[in-house]
A and B are shown apart, each in its own frame.
Chain A
């Protein structure tokens, strides 16, 4: 059963005519929204849905801080126009923990100290969730390569890789008979 939440907050009066209705399921909650054609998924999440866990680092698809999962695939929310995602299922960092229990990657990021300032962290974790779903990364060098769209200025990369490896190996152990 999905909860429903309606957001119809005016941005600027004259733009109302240009608003386009869309439906977006964000972290399991269905939203009926009216968005302007130029509003990015990132600005929609941060400014209208108050989901500021998704970060804006560059607004140009260069840093990965805005990485979210759209229909289980990792995307840069800053390069995604909200109107293009009508009907999509979006998962942000706020939607990863279940019933107050952290996602294994969230736990591993804390355990391996895979961040310092924390600003790139939501994007790193969402990206890592997407990466594990893709099933493409097995070796350390593959993790490094496939996580290279997410910049970390604090330089926590070795710990980020360790955290992902940790979860990857746990997954393998669970898969064993």
Chain B
């Protein structure tokens, strides 16, 4: 079959752009319903204990308050833990809002005030009186890591550390150059710009739920199983999601509360969280790591140990891949791993953009930089010298790996050759200049997905699948694939997604959406072509008679014989002759189990960073970032570039700004707002350059796509930390790299820092 690629692989405007720039795109907390009620969540002020008394009488007396839900009057819901476990739940007992009087963490929802206006609910919520019985809490990982444990039950889809190989201890002891250091980052919160919200429209027992979620079918399944409802009675819809970065993977508590209130009151209810409540659920876990690396006299990596301990909640064992990356990033024969958890009185951590990878790769890539320096080898050259030609964790070849091209093209674009090796050797005025680089790795994953494609006699095409677009560009890439898939102008394609009633799709995460859902759309379009062709060939006096499908070109809404455009038919002519109004094809694409067994599938990035550090203030500015990415086939140069830019910005934020500060006395995140929880503002971001290197991969997915949503963040924090070291001579191993951590070195001798925050010195 002749497939003309008019749209795929080019830079296309976002098809949902006009809706987003005019304010017409509606988000979960913006849907209207007759007699809509507004819910306001009341959050626990303590981190551990019980509610001894909760007095709602003053709040109930406020005119306009309809009902106040607490653990004392909540609706009965499912009994078994399994009923609360969504598609990505880690092992344990999922949190049940308003379940009983027990407080598991600070900020836990303990009441929902439902009123006829947002302001009334907010005011009434402030009048609820609560008496707690305090129990001691533990929120300090530095203390609790003494009781760290290997999670007894593995989280589905998350590989535990691979088996050790070789003899790390012996090789490390014998290594000419050694690095051993501790790395740290605290909890980080996703903070999408749109707060989590659910609008539940109640219609005679049937619910239409507008939710901020990355998987509408995950939400639907959760609601039906928790509340004992039939799937026919619950439709979850979220056409626009104002960012999520993982916070919308699991159904969050506002969904439970809004559904419960709507069912109890038999009315439509909206619950929108406040910004400070966005710090009362999922987050990237606080993680402490120790890296031990050894190299021989030739700068070859001979020993590697990566150990990590991460915080989790008291009720679930959240797990992510932190240490495994170190075993496959470079060639090393003597490797040892450890990954443990420690229970803290916080909510369960969750997946946040490339969960685990920026954490683990920050430690690995910082340590590699240190080792390269010790060995007297340029950091880029050191990485090239230790390049992994196969995945030694699993002893498998890579389906593709153009990381070497990333190194070369990235270095060229960045001007790496201008780097003077010694720290503090480059400056301009009062600013010290540093160049740093790092490698990033992320999985190229694919999941089973189903898509439906429909073509009408007027040549209009619709593709439908339940997936989401959280800003990633799903609408646009699916429109491109369908336009090329059926051979119509992109303006004639409608993409229907984010509705639980549509064909089954995985939740949007793991950078797998383009590969998974894209492949399903392509398959469905191929089937449509076959149907169109068969109808066309069967027409009386068909100009396509005696032709084979392989010789037919589908373009501009026409079927034409290759190199003979005079023999052609329009889609409309075919459908009218066939006497059908439309053709429909639904197809499922599944990952190839043989490839999954035989090959390791990863995306790669080489990140180069320039920082400028004010010598007097210790202020770090990341003035240039270059990300060279090998991610297979790029469907849309425009939206893919934006994804990488966004990832690099997220990585810069991790390096220089983000940290949820825990007050261990109260067991509460103190900076629970976006003035004090710093994310980059426009003035923080300077030049960013993205390169997509050529990479052909026929195994990662049928359409050659490997995914771009997460790779941009991986490695960026290390590249910046390495650049800070190069600029200042100061090695900062606990993120974020703030002025106080940079200053002591610049001022002279290193001042002692808070013991629990300080990284071990080599």
CB-nearest residue of chain A to B469: A117
In the complex, whether B314 has a CB less than 8 A from a CB of chain A is no
Cα-based distance from A56 to B27 in the complex (angstroms) = 11
Cα-based distance from A97 to B20 in the complex (angstroms) = 13
Contact pattern, B 604-638, Cβ under 8 Å of A = 1, otherwise 0: 00000000000000000000000000000000001
- In the complex the two chains form, is B674's CB within 8 Å of A151's CB? yes
In residues 90-121 of chain A, which contact B (Cβ within 8 Å)? 92-94, 96-97, 102, 106-107, 109-111, 113, 115-121
CB-nearest residue of chain A to B652: A155
Which stretch, A47-55, A69-77, A168-176, touches the partner chain B? A47-55
On chain A, the residues within 8 Å of B32 by CB distance are 50
On chain B, the residues within 8 Å of A160 by CB distance are 682
Contact pattern, A 1-40, Cβ under 8 Å of B = 1, otherwise 0: 0000000000111110000000000000000000010110
- In the complex the two chains form, is B642's CB within 8 Å of A12's CB? no
The answer to whether A113 and B641 touch (CB under 8 A), given A60-B673, A62-B675, A97-B22, is yes
Interface size class of chain A, counting residues whose CB lies under 8 Å from the partner chain: 35 or more
In residues 232-247 of chain B, which contact A (Cβ within 8 Å)? 240-245
Interface size class of chain B, counting residues whose CB lies under 8 Å from the partner chain: 35 or more
Cα-based distance from A97 to B119 in the complex (angstroms) = 31
Shortest CB-to-CB span from A40 to chain B, Å, is 9
Shortest CB-to-CB span from A14 to chain B, Å, is 3
- In the complex the two chains form, is A106's CB within 8 Å of B243's CB? no
On chain B, the residues within 8 Å of A125 by CB distance are 21
On chain A, the residues within 8 Å of B421 by CB distance are none
On chain A, the residues within 8 Å of B471 by CB distance are 115-118, 154
In the complex, whether B648 has a CB less than 8 A from a CB of chain A is yes
Tell me which of B13, B675, B683 has the highest count of chain A C-beta atoms within 10 A of its own C-beta. Answer: B683
Contact pattern, B 232-274, Cβ under 8 Å of A = 1, otherwise 0: 0000000011111100000000000000000000000000101
The one of B119, B647, B675, B681 that contacts A60, using a Cβ cutoff of 8 Å? B675
Shortest CB-to-CB span from B36 to chain A, Å, is 9
On chain A, the residues within 8 Å of B19 by CB distance are 118
- In the complex the two chains form, is B30's CB within 8 Å of A157's CB? no
- In the complex the two chains form, is A154's CB within 8 Å of B646's CB? yes
The one of B194, B244, B473, B680 that contacts A155, using a Cβ cutoff of 8 Å? B680
On chain A, the residues within 8 Å of B245 by CB distance are 153
Shortest CB-to-CB span from A16 to chain B, Å, is 10
Contact pattern, A 116-159, Cβ under 8 Å of B = 1, otherwise 0: 11111110010000000000000001011101111111111111
On chain B, the residues within 8 Å of A83 by CB distance are none
Contact pattern, B 175-207, Cβ under 8 Å of A = 1, otherwise 0: 000000000000000011111000000000000
- In the complex the two chains form, is B645's CB within 8 Å of A117's CB? no
Cα-based distance from A128 to B272 in the complex (angstroms) = 28
Cα-based distance from A19 to B240 in the complex (angstroms) = 34
On chain A, the residues within 8 Å of B645 by CB distance are 155-156, 158-159
Shortest CB-to-CB span from B707 to chain A, Å, is 15
- In the complex the two chains form, is A157's CB within 8 Å of B649's CB? yes
On chain A, the residues within 8 Å of B638 by CB distance are 113
The answer to whether A121 and B673 touch (CB under 8 A), given A116-B472, A116-B473, A153-B245, is no
In the complex, whether A59 has a CB less than 8 A from a CB of chain B is yes
Cα-based distance from A14 to B118 in the complex (angstroms) = 15
- In the complex the two chains form, is A150's CB within 8 Å of B682's CB? yes
In the complex, whether A85 has a CB less than 8 A from a CB of chain B is no
- In the complex the two chains form, is B21's CB within 8 Å of A12's CB? no
Cα-based distance from A60 to B245 in the complex (angstroms) = 22
- In the complex the two chains form, is B193's CB within 8 Å of A55's CB? yes
On chain B, the residues within 8 Å of A63 by CB distance are 193, 275, 674
On chain A, the residues within 8 Å of B18 by CB distance are 102, 110
Cα-based distance from A77 to B84 in the complex (angstroms) = 39
On chain B, the residues within 8 Å of A113 by CB distance are 13-14, 638-639, 641-642
The one of B21, B191, B685 that contacts A106, using a Cβ cutoff of 8 Å? B21
On chain A, the residues within 8 Å of B512 by CB distance are none
On chain B, the residues within 8 Å of A65 by CB distance are 193
Q: Is the interface of A mostly helix, strand, loop or mixed?
A: loop
In the complex, whether A166 has a CB less than 8 A from a CB of chain B is no
The one of B23, B64, B195, B646 that contacts A116, using a Cβ cutoff of 8 Å? B646
Cα-based distance from A57 to B212 in the complex (angstroms) = 14
- In the complex the two chains form, is A36's CB within 8 Å of B195's CB? no
The answer to whether A110 and B193 touch (CB under 8 A), given A46-B30, A50-B32, A118-B240, is no
Cα-based distance from A151 to B29 in the complex (angstroms) = 20
Cα-based distance from A55 to B32 in the complex (angstroms) = 15
Cα-based distance from A143 to B686 in the complex (angstroms) = 12
Cα-based distance from A13 to B115 in the complex (angstroms) = 12
Shortest CB-to-CB span from A6 to chain B, Å, is 19
- In the complex the two chains form, is A119's CB within 8 Å of B192's CB? yes
Shortest CB-to-CB span from B166 to chain A, Å, is 40
On chain B, the residues within 8 Å of A122 by CB distance are 21, 23
The one of A13, A36, A52 that contacts B30, using a Cβ cutoff of 8 Å? A52
Cα-based distance from A115 to B23 in the complex (angstroms) = 13
On chain A, the residues within 8 Å of B118 by CB distance are 43, 47
The answer to whether A144 and B682 touch (CB under 8 A), given A115-B20, A116-B471, A154-B243, is yes
Cα-based distance from A99 to B682 in the complex (angstroms) = 32
Cα-based distance from A150 to B20 in the complex (angstroms) = 16
On chain B, the residues within 8 Å of A157 by CB distance are 649, 680-682, 685
On chain A, the residues within 8 Å of B17 by CB distance are 109-110, 115
- In the complex the two chains form, is B680's CB within 8 Å of A147's CB? no
Shortest CB-to-CB span from B211 to chain A, Å, is 15
On chain B, the residues within 8 Å of A141 by CB distance are 683
The answer to whether A11 and B27 touch (CB under 8 A), given A153-B192, A159-B642, is no
On chain B, the residues within 8 Å of A15 by CB distance are 63-64, 120
- In the complex the two chains form, is B275's CB within 8 Å of A12's CB? no
- In the complex the two chains form, is B117's CB within 8 Å of A116's CB? no
The answer to whether A11 and B275 touch (CB under 8 A), given A94-B22, A113-B641, A155-B646, is no
Cα-based distance from A152 to B675 in the complex (angstroms) = 13
Q: List 29 A-B contacts (CB under 8 A).
A: A11-B119, A12-B116, A12-B117, A15-B63, A55-B27, A55-B194, A56-B272, A57-B193, A93-B21, A94-B24, A102-B18, A106-B22, A113-B638, A115-B471, A117-B193, A117-B194, A117-B244, A118-B19, A118-B242, A119-B242, A144-B682, A148-B681, A148-B682, A155-B647, A155-B653, A155-B685, A156-B645, A157-B681, A159-B645
- Given contact pairs A117-B193, A120-B193, A144-B685, enumerate 16 new A-B contacts (beta carbons under 8 Å): A11-B64, A36-B119, A54-B23, A57-B674, A62-B675, A113-B14, A115-B20, A116-B472, A118-B19, A145-B682, A145-B683, A148-B682, A151-B681, A154-B193, A155-B646, A155-B648
Q: List the 10 shortest-distance A-B pairs measured between CB atoms, nearest first.
A: A53-B23, A155-B649, A117-B471, A12-B64, A119-B242, A118-B20, A14-B63, A116-B471, A93-B23, A110-B17
Which residues does A use to contact B, with CB under 8 Å? 11-15, 36, 38-39, 43, 46-47, 50-60, 62-63, 65, 92-94, 96-97, 102, 106-107, 109-111, 113, 115-122, 125, 141, 143-145, 147-161
Which residues does B use to contact A, with CB under 8 Å? 13-14, 16-27, 29-30, 32, 63-64, 115-120, 191-195, 240-245, 272, 274-275, 470-473, 638-639, 641-643, 645-650, 653, 673-675, 679-685, 687-688
